[in-house]
Amino acid sequence: MRRMKPLVNFVATLILMLAIACHGSEHGVNFNIFPLRMKTGSGGHYIPDVSCLSWRVGVEAHNIIDWKTVPQECEGYIGNYMLGDQYRADSKMVCAQAYLYAKTLNLTRDGRDIWVFDIDETALSNLPYYAHHGFGVEPFDRESFNEWVPLGIAPALPESLKLYNKLLSLGIKIVFLTGRPDHQREITAKNLKNVGYHTWKKLITKDPSYVGKTAVTYESAERKKLEEKGYRIIGNIGDQWSDILGTNTGNRTFKLPDPVYYIS
Ligand SMILES: *[C@@H]1O[C@H](CO)[C@@H](O)[C@H](O)[C@H]1NC(C)=O
Ligand SMILES: *[C@@H]1O[C@H](CO)[C@@H](O)[C@H](O)[C@H]1NC(C)=O
Ligand SMILES: [Mg+2]
C-alpha cells in the first residue's frame, strides 16, 4: 500500500492542477468571514506540504516561538488553512471546549465572574486584510495594517461570537483585553458592536505606558488589576500564547489557532 502513495499524490496533484487551470482565480468559494478568494488554489483542495503542517503544529504548541513571518514556502499552505474549513473547525473545537467548561461552573451570578477575550484573531478576524495582503507579511510593522484597523470593518470570528453569547447567557461578564492602543479604542468598540458584541464589562486597550513592554507583561498587569478589583477571571481566550501566559491568567485558558503572526 505504501508504494501506492507517490502515485496517488501525483494523480491528486494532476487533478488539482487541472482544477486550477479550469477555474483559475475565478474559482469562487463563499466563506462566512470574508468574501475573498485565494489567488491560487482553493481552500478545500490544497494538498498540504507535510513540513508546513508540522510547522503549524509547532507554532500552536508553542515549540516554535519568536518567529517573524510565515516561512515563505508555507505561505500557500497557511493561506489555504486560514481561508479553508480547517481553521474554522479548529476554532470551533476550542470554543466548544470553552463552553463545556463554563457550563460546569456553579457561578454566583454576582457580576464578578469574568471571561477575558482578546480581540484580534479572537473576537474579531483580520482575515480580509491578510487575504488581501498575503499571509507572509510582517503584520504590525506595516502601515497597511494600521490603515486597516481604523476602517473598523473586521468581521467577527463566528465561533468566538457564539461562545461570547453562550457565556453571557450563563451570567458571565466579558472583558476585552487587547494590544490595540488607546487611540484605536473608539473604532474598536464600534467595530465590536457592529458585528454583534453588544455588551461588555470593560474594554481594555493598551495605554502608552506599556509601549516597549511585551504583551505578556501588559496583559498580566491588566489582569492583575482586574483581580485586585474583585473580579474572578474564570476563563481567558486568545489566539496568542502571550494572551494566556504570565500571571493572573484565569482558572482556565483557551488558545485559538493563529499561524499568521507571533506576538511575545
Ligand atoms: C452551587 O453554589 C451554591 C452556593 O455556593 C451552593 O449552595 C450549591 O450547593 C452549589 N451547587 C452545586 C451543584 O455545587
Ligand atoms: C479558580 O481558581 C481559584 C484559585 O485556585 C479557586 O479558588 C476557584 O475556586 C477557582 N474557580 C473556579 C470557578 O474554578
Ligand atoms: Mg489576538
Nearest CA to ligand 2 atom 9: 251
Tell me, what's the pLDDT at 10? 40
Nearest CA to ligand 2 atom 7: 251
Tell me, what's the pLDDT at 50? 82
Q: pTM score, two decimals?
A: 0.84
Tell me, what's the pLDDT at 35? 46
Looking at the domain assignment, is residue 97 inside a domain?
yes
Point out the ligand 2 atom lying closest to the alpha carbon of residue 113: 13
Looking at the domain assignment, is residue 243 inside a domain?
yes
The dihedral region occupied by 225, where left means phi > 0, alpha psi between -120 and 50, and beta the remainder, is: alpha
Ligand 2 site residues (CB inside 6 A) read 105, 234, 251
Looking at the domain assignment, is residue 2 inside a domain?
no
Nearest CA to ligand 2 atom 2: 251
Phi, psi of 35 (to 5 degrees): -85, 40
Nearest CA to ligand 2 atom 10: 251
Three-state secondary structure call for residue 205: strand
Looking at the domain assignment, is residue 6 inside a domain?
no
Looking at the domain assignment, is residue 76 inside a domain?
yes
Looking at the domain assignment, is residue 237 inside a domain?
yes
Q: What is the grid cell recorded at 216?
A: 505578556
Report how far apart, in Å, the C-alpha atoms of 158 and of each of 196, 197, 233, 240 are: 10, 11, 23, 18
Point out the ligand 2 atom lying closest to the alpha carbon of residue 106: 13
Tell me, what's the pLDDT at 17? 38
Taking the centre of ligand 3 as the mean of its atom positions, its distance from the CA of residue 157, in whole angstroms, is 11
Say if residues 245 and 216 touch (Cβ distance below 8 Å): yes
Looking at the domain assignment, is residue 22 inside a domain?
yes
Stretches where the chain sits below pLDDT 70 are: 1-48
- Kindly identify the ligand whose nearest atom is closest to the C-alpha of 160: 3
| Interatomic CA distance for residues 95 and 155, integer angstroms | 17
Helical ranges in 115-184 per DSSP H: 127-133, 143-148, 158-169
Tell me, what's the pLDDT at 19? 39
- Kindly identify the ligand whose nearest atom is closest to the C-alpha of 179: 3
Looking at the domain assignment, is residue 4 inside a domain?
no
Query: What CATH code is carried by the domain that includes residue 199?
Result: 3.40.50.1000
Helical ranges in the chain per DSSP H: 4-23, 50-60, 75-83, 85-104, 127-133, 143-148, 158-169, 185-194, 215-228, 241-244
Tell me, what's the pLDDT at 202? 98
Whole domain around residue 196: which residue ranges? 11-255
Tell me, what's the pLDDT at 147? 93
Domains of the chain: total: 1
Taking the centre of ligand 1 as the mean of its atom positions, its distance from the CA of residue 160, in whole angstroms, is 28
